[in-house]
Amino acid sequence: MWEYSDKVREHFFNPRNSGPLEEANGIGDVGSIQCGDALRLMLKVDPETEIIQDAHFQTFGCGSAIASSSALTEIIKGMTLDQALEVSNQNIADYLDGLPPEKMHCSVMGREALQAAIANYRGEEWSDDHEEGALICKCFAIDAVMIEDVVKANNLNTVEEVTFYTKAGGGCAACHEGIEEILAKVKAERPGMGETSPPAVCPATPEAPKPPAKKLSIVEKIAKIQEVLESVRPMLQRDHGDVELADVQGKKIYVHLKGACSGCMMEAATLGGIQQKMIEALGELVQVLPSSHMPVEA
């Protein structure tokens, strides 16, 4: 059985705001019975102030789907619609003191229902671009569809690259066989791999994604590196960690991991995630390493 937090259990056993809401003027339906998850979120919005006066839900789903729905209604009551749109699935998971990785999609469904309900109130069309596949990486809750999309978009060839781009496989490494299967499948589907191509056309090293028009000066490069680090800091700080730049030596970027990040079992994956962003921002292949790996001055 899942390790649910006490908060999840409590919201499941005593869901808040369940059942139909007669005066609802914004309704969002997401999920489907095929997937085993379906959520209807009903909002009563004050047309003057756009404040959510009441929120109810009806959910077909597992314990965490019901708890996520309940949490969502509690979070958004009293918010304006614009404030509510800022609520992320992570906010829902945090409100419940976390969800198991296999169950994060329950919080995603909550956020989508919220977007759908607000769109419905505003008379807008809401379309979802989110497709979910089988869960591959349990450490970071990365599914097959996401890995496949990233592999295709970036022409990835190795498990290591997949980890840099998606984090998948950066934890316990048990899913590497699954990632290899996705890589093999995409490789087989790639155009140009058919009978007209000579064998082994695949480059040994991947192309750097979107190289910039001109080479960056060292100052520009450092500025970009700082920019990337700033962008990831809020995420790390939320987990009570932090990061700062230690040094740049050629293609090696050394960083200090601080607070909870230091010595965390996910350190390698955190660095992998930062490295992915660096590669995207700089348009070249770089390595992000902990400052402990810096060569000792002679």
Q: Is 216 in the site for another protein (CB under 8 A)?
A: no
Q: From CA 286, how far away is CA 95, in angstroms rounded?
A: 37
Of 45-53, 73-81, 122-130, 252-260: span binding another protein (CB under 8 A): 122-130
Q: CB of 261 within 8 A of CB of 236?
A: yes
Q: Is 278 in the site for another protein (CB under 8 A)?
A: no
Q: Is 134 in the site for another protein (CB under 8 A)?
A: yes
Q: To which H or E segment does residue 30 belong?
A: strand 26-32
Which of 178/273 has CB closer to another protein?
Answer: 178
Residue 40 CB contacts under 8 Å (≥ 6 apart), including other chains: 27, 28, 29, 57, 58, 59, 113
The CA-based dihedral angle spanning residues 201, 207, 209, 214, taken in that order and rounded to the nearest 10 degrees: -130
The reply to whether 106 belongs to the active site is yes
Q: Which of residues 49-88 bind another protein (CB under 8 A)?
A: 58-66
Q: CB of 98 within 8 A of CB of 9?
A: no
Among 23, 122, 130, 230, binds another protein (CB under 8 A): 130
Q: How far is the CB of 280 from another protein (least distance, A)?
A: 28
Tokens coding 186:
């995409």
Of 15-23, 72-80, 280-288, 290-298: span binding another protein (CB under 8 A): 15-23
Closest residue by Cα to residue 255 from 282, 294, 296: 294
Residue 6 CB contacts under 8 Å (≥ 6 apart), including other chains: 97
Among 21, 24, 72, 116, binds another protein (CB under 8 A): 116
Q: Is 135 in the site for another protein (CB under 8 A)?
A: yes
The reply to whether 35 belongs to the active site is yes
Q: Is 34 in the site for another protein (CB under 8 A)?
A: yes
Which of 10/267 has CB closer to another protein?
Answer: 10
Q: Is 29 in the site for another protein (CB under 8 A)?
A: yes
> Helix %, strand %, coil % for the chain, to 5?
45, 20, 40
Given 62, 106, 137, 202, which residue is catalytic?
Answer: 106
Strand partners, 44: 54
Q: Is 31 in the site for another protein (CB under 8 A)?
A: yes
Q: Is 133 in the site for another protein (CB under 8 A)?
A: yes
Binding site for another protein (CB under 8 A): 1, 9, 12-13, 15, 18-19, 28-40, 58-66, 102-103, 112, 116, 126-128, 130, 132-135, 138
Q: Which residues are catalytic?
A: 35, 106
